[in-house]
Amino acid sequence: MSQVKQIKVNAIKNGTVIDHITAGKIRKVLDILHLEGNEVVMVGMNLFSNKIGRKDIVKIENKELSEFEVNSIALIAPEATLIIIKDFEVAKKAHLQLPEHIEDIINCPNPKCITNSEPIISKFKLTDDQTSQVRCLYCEKKYLIDEVKIKK
Ligand SMILES: [Zn+2]
């Protein structure tokens, strides 16, 4: 049993695996990743998971995520696990965490917010990590993470 799992996880030689993405969120995750179009990418959708029921998973060969990409994915899929593969081995495994301060990652949905008319770096604070609610530090409006647009 554990050997089967091992083979699945180690299917790429070098690269990144994002596992335990809540089923249905993979499209948003792929949107965030700055893929050039020539990477080897494997996507699994609605796979069975003991941990979270149904999950999505993505494996990208020869790619390490930038801090921006990791933080952005944490916003969309905070339950995901990030796995770095080196030479078919798991080199690093980490649970994603919602960043408390979110700078320059999301656009404020409030059209009257100053960040939408001036060249200002958007700043949000995580106000509720259960519901993934964030608050814009400029206009003070609160949004659920699903309501905001993630910059690319
Ligand atoms: Zn705002």
CA of 141 from ligand 1 middle (Å) equals 6
Residue that is written with structure tokens 């179009």 in the block: 37
User: What is the rounded CA–CA span in Å between residue 32 and residue 37?
Assistant: 13
Q: pLDDT by residue for the chain (152 residues), tens digit each?
A: 455 554 454 578 999 999 999 999 999 899 888 888 888 999 999 999 887 789 999 999 999 999 889 988 988 888 899 999 999 999 999 999 888 899 888 899 999 999 999 999 999 999 987 888 999 999 999 999 888 887 76
CA of 112 from ligand 1 middle (Å) equals 8
CB 72 within 8 A of CB 78: no
Residue 70: in which H helix or E strand, if any? helix 67-76
CB 88 within 8 A of CB 82: no
CA of 107 from ligand 1 middle (Å) equals 8
